[in-house]
Amino acid sequence: MNKIRRRILKKVIKEKQGFIIQGLDENSLLTNKLVLKNRKISIIIFSFIIFLIIFNVKGFIAEYYSPNFYFGKYFFNHIYYVLISLFFLIYFLIARINYYTIKIDNHLIDIKIYRTVIGLLKPKSLVNVSHEMLTHFFFYNRSFSFNKSLMLNIKTNDEEIVKLNFNLSFLSKKDEQKIKRFLEKIIKQNKLKEDLK
In the chain, where are the structural domains located?
35-197
pLDDT digits (tens, 9 = 90+) for 7-35: 544 544 444 444 444 444 444 444 558 99
Chain-centre distance for alpha carbon 48? 22
Taking the model in full, what pTM does it have? Answer: 0.67
Q: Which of 14-18, 29-33, 36-40, 84-88 has the lowest mean pLDDT?
A: 14-18
Query: 118 pLDDT band (50/70/90 cuts)?
Result: low
Q: CB of 148 within 8 A of CB of 131? A: no
Query: 49 pLDDT band (50/70/90 cuts)?
Result: confident
Query: 181 pLDDT band (50/70/90 cuts)?
Result: very high
Mean pLDDT for 96-113 is 88
Higher-confidence position of 120 and 75: 75
CA distances from 44 to 41, 47, 51, 89, 99 (A): 5, 5, 10, 14, 11
Higher-confidence position of 16 and 141: 141
With CA atoms as reference, report the closest residue to 135 among 150, 155, 158, 151. 155
112 forms bridges with which residues in the sheet? Answer: 101, 126
Burial of 66 (0-12, 13-18, 19+ CB in 10 A): exposed
